Amino acid sequence: MATFVELAQGNSYSRSSEGGASVDTAKRTFKVMRDNITETIDIPALIGIDVGSAYSDGTQVPCVGWESRPDGDSRMVLIVTFRYRSTPGGVDGSGGGGTGGDPKLSAPDVRPALYQMTSSLQEVPAPDGYVYESGGWVGPGVFRNSAGDMLEGLTRLEPVVDLSITQYSYTDQSNILAYTGYINSDVFTFSGHSVPIHTCMFRGLNVTPYVESGFRGFQLEFQFSFRINWCQSVTYGDSALGWDQPIVDAGYNIINTGLNSGSVEQEHLNYTLDEQLNIASPRRLKGGGKMRAQVPASGVNGGERQINCANPVLLNADGSPRSRSLPPRVIRAQTQPEMLFGDNFSAFGINSFY
């Protein structure tokens, strides 16, 4: 088994000023002797020092890296140097050994996760909003024309916040890739803020092989997107739709539930005409059946008849035509699969941010 000894002449300790704050730097040097030329040595395990280890019990300056090299032409002896450096302005009594945000205070796989956020605008459907009338702004409500028919094709720009979280791992976490496109099923907290259900989506994971002194693994970059997507006219549920979609309950077909139900022109008769276009006999529309929505039109001999409606008709929950005096039903529809995210994305195995 390999042995080692510390070389006093290779050690150093210094203190300097950087940006008006004190910084401690140090080096410790060891000579490692192999038992045989083919022996493989785990340097940190043998010497008991790794990235993040303190310089000494009384001086908490962290190790930020180490290197080994052959001693001259010898292949049996290695010279190993450990480098230590404190954070400028650290609170440690030794002159700057406190954490202070130094990214190399510990081994990569246990370092706090780092994140960055960017915002952008995304075009989304706008089923509701405000309209300006003679008395000022009116709303919010589903957009309709003066005859009560829906207006479609309107959009708005919705803020989207993209979050990138970076950390290190010995494994590539490829099992998480199967959850790309999933949204949060729970209300969780991130950076002190509460995130409503279905407003955060896992967009993907970027994996890059990473090598640092004493560490061989992967750099993981988790991608998330937040979107509130307000819809104040939604009939049931939270107005913050997130990645859910708003659907105005309307269609060309209706369920005919009978007369006097606050419907679209169901009180009119649907006349049957003979070959000479004379009224043969009046009949009521069949109750309880699915049929094309009807509107009144001029009939023969000054009478009335019903014809198919050319526009979608607003519907009640039972499929019957909805009274135009009532606000339209707006349904919240989930189109993405969901999963538990956990506070600070703990379900993804992300390290603490602190």
pLDDT by residue, tens only, the chain of 354 residues:
889 999 888 788 888 776 667 778 888 999 999 888 777 787 888 888 887 788 887 788 888 777 777 887 777 888 888 888 776 555 443 333 344 445 554 567 767 788 999 999 999 989 899 999 999 999 889 998 888 788 888 999 999 999 999 988 888 888 889 899 999 999 999 988 999 999 999 999 999 999 887 788 899 999 999 999 999 999 998 999 999 999 999 998 888 765 434 344 444 444 444 455 554 444 444 556 777 777 777 766 666 666 778 888 888 898 888 887 888 999 999 999 999 998 889 888 887 776
**Residue 354, domain member (yes or no):** no
Which domain, by its residues, includes 306?
Answer: 251-327
139 in the same domain as 238: yes
| Residue 66 burial by Cβ neighbours in a 10 Å radius (0-12, 13-18, 19+) | buried
- The whole-number pLDDT of residue 87 equals 67
Amino acid at 271: Y
- The whole-number pLDDT of residue 129 equals 92
What SS3 state is found at 238?
coil
Residues in Cβ contact with 331 at an 8 Å cutoff, skipping those fewer than 6 apart: 234, 235, 236, 246, 247, 248, 249
Bridge partners of 255?
290
Structure tokens at 117: 């956020």
- The whole-number pLDDT of residue 243 equals 96
Size (the chain), residues: 354
- The whole-number pLDDT of residue 201 equals 97
Bridge partners of 131?
138
239 in the same domain as 125: yes
- The whole-number pLDDT of residue 113 equals 83
- Number of domains within the chain: 3
Does the predicted TM-score (pTM) go above 0.75? Answer: no
Strands 215-227 and 253-255, bridge-based pairing: unpaired
- The whole-number pLDDT of residue 222 equals 95
171 in the same domain as 59: no
342 in the same domain as 197: yes
Pairwise CA distance, residues 230 & 241, whole Å: 6
Pairwise CA distance, residues 330 & 150, whole Å: 12
Buried b / exposed e along 154-186 (16+ C-beta atoms within 10 A): eeeebebeebebbbbbeebbeebeeeeebbbee
Write down which residue in 77, 106, 135 finishes a domain. 106
Distances (CA, A) of 326 to 50, 142, 263: 70, 11, 11
- The whole-number pLDDT of residue 286 equals 52
Pairwise CA distance, residues 151 & 128, whole Å: 10
Pairwise CA distance, residues 261 & 270, whole Å: 17
143 in the same domain as 238: yes
Contact 38, 63 (CB under 8 A): no
267 in the same domain as 232: no
- Asked if omega into 62 is within 30° of 0 (cis), the reply is no
- The whole-number pLDDT of residue 75 equals 76
- The whole-number pLDDT of residue 160 equals 96
Residue closest to 142 by CA, chosen among 125, 126, 128, 124: 128
169 in the same domain as 308: no
302 in the same domain as 162: no
222 in the same domain as 261: no
Cβ atoms within 10 Å of 259's Cβ, excluding its own: 12
